[in-house]
Chain A
Amino acid sequence: MLDRLRELYETLRTAKLRTAVTALSVAWGIFMLVVLLGAGAGIQNGAEHQFRDDATNAIWVFRGTTSMPFEGHKIGRQVRLTDEDYDAIQRNIEGVTHITGRFYLQGQFTVSYGKVVTSFDVRATHPGHRFLENTEITDGRFINELDLKERRKVVVIGPTAVERLFHGMDPIGEWISVKGMMYRVVGVFKDSGGESEDSTIYIPISTAQMVYGGASQIHQIMFTIDESSSVEQSTAIAEETKRMLAGRHHFSPKDKRAIRMRNTIEDFQRVLGLFERIRVFIWIVGVGTIVAGIVGVSNIMLISVRERTKEIGIRKALGATPWAIISQIMLESLIVTGVSGYTGLIAGVGLLELVRKHMPPSEFFRDPEVNLGVALGALALLVFSGLLAGYFPARLAAKVNPIVALRAE
């Protein structure tokens, strides 16, 4: 084998530049495939990371304004969601696992503790909210049913508030002022949604409705459904919810503006599907690039075989069997594509590693990666393409007639 390789090296050495240029085309093909797949994974990771903030099995209901006349009501009527709607969904809709309402408090609220004064977004919710935002409690507790019932003035704060107000001190049980009203800190959370989520503070929705004059109003209702639900099931639940609310608020179930729905399962699945398609597309482009490389190798080797007709004829006259000739050409092709392709693979992975290390993860791009399966797939593709590229030239070489070849000058 070593001997064969040495024989091969001698042949390749005679056409250094040509070998190098050919090798480059294959290396480039694999490099592009790896980088594209890595970048695709990076974009996908970025998108999935964004979803990580929110539950991916949630249905969101926003209030809206009617856009269709219904049962004698004129269009342009505002639909107001209330505690009763919250209760109705919880009671009547099958498959709801966690539910919360949100009462909007506009703008940032001045928050102070002792002499420290700062401002935060305040979110008034039900206890179920932490499941919808993937909020993790790191200390104390989240808002509970008792807080809700008694309209307690309690607050759950994020890491930003702990840092700014308490400078790392234990905040549990301390009282802070939110827009002039004193609240007791009962819990600390952390959220993977980034800075804006981390600097939000939570209060019970009932407290907010009372203090900020909302009566029983709710601006937004969100609920999760069973995680194993399919897109169809989630769509059905969303439809059912809409029908029920349409009945309660007298608007047409066909009215798209009366209430607005967002189905994160659908969104998530759509995004996943999109990435699936992007991946297929990348493979097509990548494989296409490699095919161009293979055709290049095959072409160059065909030329090389033609140029070496005499050499092949001499070898045959001296006793080279067709198999010896075929295996020599195939091996040559395999080595050229293998070595160059592997180089391309390493270069591609190297580039992705560099990007991963030195480019801060953004919303759109993080952790580009090529997994083992893809790398092995690319490698298998290389071997296959090497053999494929060598096949036609080898067949041509095996057909060389020594008599004709020897006569050729």
Chain B
Amino acid sequence: MIRLEKLNKSYLLGHHALHVLRNIDLTIEAGELVAIMGSSGSGKSTLLNILGILDDYDSGSYVLGGTMIRDLSESRAAQYRNKLIGFVFQSFNLLAFKTAAENVALPLFYQGFSRSKRNALALDYLDRVGLKDWALHLPSEMSGGQKQRVAIARALITKPRILLADEPTGALDSKTSDQIMDLLTEVNGEGVTVVIVTHESAVAARTHRTIRLRDGVIDDEASPPSNRASQGIAMPSSRRG
């Protein structure tokens, strides 16, 4: 699903180039549930941005679902983001002046869906995350966990192949975090590749695999091929792509 080869990324800070990602080789198979961990400054956010086609890289290659992601025009990048990728953010990033249903429907607006079709689908997806009754509420009227579930519904409405979650539980208490992780696991169970950036080991422990970044390189020692294997949990073979 995701294949990175010798990927490099550096930022120019004044006269110094800050080499954020160095020769990253990474393969994530379809249907995997992966955690990316690392201390701040390790490059994990940059990696997620590149995976989400929000940022470009300097050298190497990034193939997403068979498509080479390189030097895309902004419109092209936007289309890929819209069709292939669902985003979930730490701070939810819901539009404050839109209701839950309208927020969920927004990605479809950019696919040219009619309003009625959008709204119907939005209700379906809100139902899936258990918030059908909250469809007409504004984000300000909802709890953090509810907001994140709305965001997940929004990320899923375009039927993306990958869900990228940036610290999805960072702003939530542990009980709510668990519920969100339940939801993400469920989504993964339906075949969506899920990549979660986190610094919480409890979150990472619930994924199939943890990739640890340190100073822009993947720390192979600390990145076991499978969390479940190391934890002795049998992994249903159907979940491995």
Contacts and interface: CB of A to CB of B under 8 A. Distances in A.
Interface of A: 3, 6-7, 10-11, 13-14, 310-311, 313-324, 398, 402-403, 406, 409
Given A6-B115, A14-B97, A315-B106, A321 B87 contact: no
A242 B54 CA distance: 87
A230 B134 CA distance: 81
A3 to B, nearest CB: 5
Nearest to B111: A319
B62 interface: no
B157 to A, nearest CB: 10
B114 A3 contact: yes
A62 B204 CA distance: 109
Given A318-B82, A322-B78, 15 more contacts: A7-B109, A10-B97, A311-B95, A314-B94, A314-B95, A317-B52, A318-B106, A318-B154, A319-B78, A319-B79, A319-B158, A321-B74, A402-B54, A406-B91, A406-B93
B97 A321 contact: no
Contacts, number: 65
Given A323-B75, A406-B93, A318 B54 contact: no
B87 A317 contact: yes
A403 B55 CA distance: 8
A3 B109 contact: yes
23 contacts: A6-B115, A10-B97, A13-B97, A314-B94, A314-B95, A315-B106, A317-B54, A317-B93, A318-B107, A318-B154, A319-B78, A319-B79, A319-B110, A321-B75, A321-B110, A322-B75, A324-B110, A402-B54, A403-B55, A406-B89, A406-B91, A406-B93, A409-B91
B49 interface: yes
A310 B93 contact: yes
B228 interface: no
B83 interface: yes
Contacts of A313: 93
B81 interface: yes
B70 interface: no
Interface size class of B (residues with CB under 8 A): 20 to 34
B98 interface: yes
Main secondary structure of the interface of A (DSSP, over half): helix
Contacts of B95: 311, 314
A318 B79 contact: no
Interface of B: 49, 52, 54-55, 74-75, 78-79, 81-83, 87, 89, 91, 93-95, 97-98, 102, 106-107, 109-111, 114-115, 154, 158
A403 B87 CA distance: 12
Nearest 6 interchain pairs by C-beta: A319-B82, A321-B75, A321-B78, A319-B110, A318-B107, A14-B97
A368 B4 CA distance: 74
Given A6-B115, A10-B98, A319-B107, A314 B83 contact: no
Contacts of B79: 319, 321
Contacts of A310: 93
A320 B78 contact: yes
A243 B114 CA distance: 85
A317 B115 contact: no
Nearest to B115: A3
Contacts of B87: 317-318
A402 B45 CA distance: 13
A319 B81 CA distance: 5
A13 B95 CA distance: 14
B97 A320 contact: no
Nearest to A311: B95
Contacts of A13: 97
Nearest to A398: B74
Contacts of A402: 54
A403 B75 contact: no
Nearest to B55: A403
A409 B111 CA distance: 28
A403 B49 contact: yes
A341 to B, nearest CB: 26
A14 B98 CA distance: 10
